Chains A and B, each alone.
Chain A
Amino acid sequence: MNNKVNIPKNWEEVYIDQFIELDSINYDEFESVSAIQLERLSILTDTSSDDDLWDDMDIRDMNKLVTDLKFLSTKPSNIVHKKIIDDEFILIDFNNLKFGEFIDLEFYLKEGENKSIDKIATILFRKYKFGEWGEVILEPYGVIDFTLRSEFFKNNGKLTEIYGAVNSYKEWRENFIKTFKNLFEGEVEDDYNPEEMSEEELEELKKIEEDEKKLAEFGWQRMLLSISGGDFIKLESCLEVGVVFLFNMLSVKMALKI
């Protein structure tokens, strides 16, 4: 019976769609250990838990298969692959990220790096060609059909081809945020002492904090509007500016209070 079922023996054999599905399993929804095992095996064999295969399989054979799933409790390899899927796609240089790409990455990271790993990969990996001087020319972000591409990565991308790159990006992002900490935090005046404030002042402070919370939800849009000087026509071109350059300029602007 075992011969009929091929399951991955390590993370190298797991595809992105399988990883996303495994990650989204809500263990509380399952009534038994067998149900959980069946769910995981059906994900890893690209079948459904209702598939006839599981009608005919002896539970003891399933338990034998399950012994191969030990790798699921380990972390996938963090090796960064520069080129993936038969070298068709190349990892971008994070320092060359455009502001628009950076905002999109922020959105998908917030949504969940595992849940949205296919979408993150769509931004981080591009088709490419070589120019006249042997330089790498990347497929522009704007021409990509995002849904199609993320679907493609989901079904054709091996997890370990992408996982390391995502973590590497997260590391880069952390350093980036540290570098431009003042821009991310905004101008927060926290040198006040609530004990010394009157009731009216405290009330006002509370209102300001609530407003800031609301505004934070639209943080990127606000930043974009501020950069474009409120000019909607310029919004698109602002998204095309390199994020490192942009934040450098904003930092200078802030330092010089101009």
Chain B
Amino acid sequence: MLKFRIKDEEFSFKNAEDLLINDYENLAAILNNPSINEIDRFFKAFVLLGVDGDILDTLDGFSFLKIIKEFKDVEMPVGEFTQFLEINGRTYQSFDQEFFFSVKDMKMIEASVKKNPTHFIGEVMAIVFKDTELTKTEHQDDAHIKYKAKLIRENVQYKVALPFIASFSKQMIANLESYKNEQ
């Protein structure tokens, strides 16, 4: 947890990975919004991470930039892949033996990312985690994925999504390289 002091008082940020996916997506959207200047971007982000805006206002520019640097240096721990999620009495499973992105899942995920480059984590998780009581066809239904993405966004912390997102990013690069090599 990132902490900073103003005079003698200590303030702390929530860890980004502890945010619900919904809040993390909002945070990421703010941090990647090119139409806001960097100071405003981080101001909004820190407020989202639980710091009082009035307190941030009392900081001088130098101290604020120092906090930004420290925030940027924080590394998020990538944990293990979660196999099951329990939400509202239903079980969602991401893999049997070992996690991998299936060809079809990857195709759907890439399409979601393209559609909404700042809010896609919910969709990635909704595609990867399958309701154990439903069929393959039902898993891939657009309306079902949309519903599940909302459910996951509002109930699952970003740290659960982190290993999947990290793996997805790695795979995306590998896909592009493989395509480039083929040309």
Contacts and interface: CB of A to CB of B under 8 A. Distances in A.
B166 interface: no
Given A37-B175, A63-B175, A67-B178, A57 B110 contact: no
A52 B106 contact: no
A25 interface: no
B35 interface: no
A69 B183 CA distance: 9
A34 B106 contact: yes
B84 to A, nearest CB: 20
**Which DSSP category, helix, strand, loop or mixed, fits chain A's interface?**
helix
Contacts of A70: 181-182
A65 to B, nearest CB: 10
**Which DSSP category, helix, strand, loop or mixed, fits chain B's interface?**
helix
Contacts of B106: 32, 34, 59
Nearest to B99: A58
A34 B105 CA distance: 10
A121 B94 CA distance: 50
A177 B133 CA distance: 67
Given A34-B107, A63-B178, 10 more contacts: A31-B111, A31-B114, A32-B106, A32-B107, A33-B179, A37-B178, A59-B101, A59-B103, A60-B100, A60-B174
Interface residues of A, number: 25
A72 interface: yes
Nearest 5 pairs between A and B by C-beta? A32-B110, A58-B100, A31-B111, A54-B103, A63-B178
A134 B105 CA distance: 61
A95 B72 CA distance: 75
30 contacts: A31-B111, A31-B115, A32-B110, A32-B111, A33-B179, A34-B175, A35-B107, A35-B110, A36-B179, A37-B175, A37-B178, A38-B104, A52-B136, A54-B107, A55-B103, A56-B102, A57-B103, A58-B100, A58-B101, A58-B103, A59-B103, A59-B175, A60-B171, A60-B174, A66-B179, A67-B181, A69-B182, A70-B181, A73-B182, A73-B183
Interface string B88-126: 000000000000111111110011011100000000000
Nearest to A42: B103
B110 A59 contact: no
Interface residues of B, number: 23
Given A33-B176, A38-B107, A59 B114 contact: no
A32 B176 CA distance: 9
Contacts of A31: 110-111, 114-115
A39 B106 CA distance: 13
A55 B106 CA distance: 10
B114 to A, nearest CB: 5
Interface string A16-47: 00000000000000011111111000000000
Contacts of A138: none
B174 A63 contact: yes
B101 to A, nearest CB: 5
Contacts of B103: 34, 38, 54-55, 57-59, 62
A42 B79 CA distance: 35
A213 to B, nearest CB: 40
Nearest to A41: B103
A104 B161 CA distance: 60
Interface in B143-183: 171, 174-176, 178-179, 181-183
Which of A34, A35, A58: most chain B Cβ within 10 A? Answer: A34
